[in-house]
Amino acid sequence: MNGTAHASYSFLIFSAISVFLIGAVPEGSPSVLAVAAGMLPDIDGLFWKLTHPGKKSGTDFQHHLMYPTHWPVFYLPLVVVTIITWLAGFYPMHFLAITMGAYLHLVFDSISCGDGMNWGAPWGRKFINLFSSRTDGYHGLYWAARFRTTIFFKIQMVAAAIAIGMLAWFSSIHADDIAWYIIGIGILVVVIISDLLPVPKEYHEEPPEGRYSDYRLKPGYYERLSPAMKERVKAWREARGHAMPGA
């Protein structure tokens, strides 16, 4: 999913756990961390842009496959640190917000993405990608153009509006933290605007490399696809004159 979804869902779920399980309205700084940490794994996108100046993200940008920031194992040390800080009473909600944000990002990247999430990376060879008939196999702006046609794009905007409302409400409870809540609202507004910017028309067309030009064409991955996915990949590519793996 995109920044609006990740930031909003991370904050909303963190807030629900804080209120209903811990019994406290989250303060300003951990609330902002929940918003920001929900987007943390996508820092690899910033790295890609810096290393590919001037290039728009198409099928070359497949960060779920290539970058450890989208490997669940990468954040295990953070889980350990969070447990230690919780037992020690050292800013436990702050570390909980960061850890939850990172893993919630990966959970929601398992839904309606171009490839989904390889929860066993870097050793596993199976991606989970639920409700993705419109989006799987597309990457970068090709994916963005198609994601906007899904119900998930609309739901995230509702979630973002609720998150902004909750941040404003929390600021009335923790008035001393109002600056933090304003920062959280500002982050959400920025990512909403970013996700509403128009996608260039060429990305509404099929990518030159063809759909599914990703892990599904790599040995070790293709063999592990389900029979249904193999048939979908084969039918789509052959209908458009694209070669299959090993052909």
134 and 44 assigned to the same domain:
yes
Share the mean pLDDT of the chain.
Answer: 93
116 and 22 assigned to the same domain:
yes
119 and 199 assigned to the same domain:
yes
Tell me the chain's radius of gyration from C-alpha atoms. Answer: 19
- Give DSSP secondary structure letters for 150-185: SHHHHHHHHHHHHHHHHHHHHHHHSGGGHHHHHHHH
Low-confidence stretches of the chain (pLDDT < 50) are none
58 and 26 assigned to the same domain:
yes
Amino acid 30: pLDDT: 98
232 and 110 assigned to the same domain:
no
User: By residue range, what is the domain housing residue 176?
Assistant: 3-205
Contact between 7 and 35 (Cβ < 8 Å): yes
Amino acid 112: pLDDT: 96
Strand partners, 128: 117
Amino acid 209: pLDDT: 85
Which one-letter amino acid corresponds to residue 50?
L
Q: Give the separation between CA 98 and CA 33, rounded to whole angstroms.
A: 6
169 and 233 assigned to the same domain:
no
pLDDT by residue (tens digit) across 145-172?
999 999 999 999 999 999 999 999 999 9
Total structural domains within the chain: 2
Contact between 229 and 236 (Cβ < 8 Å): no
Q: How many CB atoms lie within 10 A of CB 62?
A: 20
- Give DSSP secondary structure letters for 4-30: HHHHHHHHHHHHHIIIIII-S---HHH
158 and 78 assigned to the same domain:
yes
78 and 150 assigned to the same domain:
yes
218 and 196 assigned to the same domain:
no
Please list, in sequence order, all residues whose beta carbon lies within 8 angstroms of the beta carbon of residue 166, skipping any fewer than 6 positions away: 11, 12, 15
25 and 121 assigned to the same domain:
yes
112 and 179 assigned to the same domain:
yes
Token pair belonging to 64:
């779920």
27 and 125 assigned to the same domain:
yes
Please state the pTM of the whole predicted model.
Answer: 0.93
Amino acid 57: pLDDT: 72
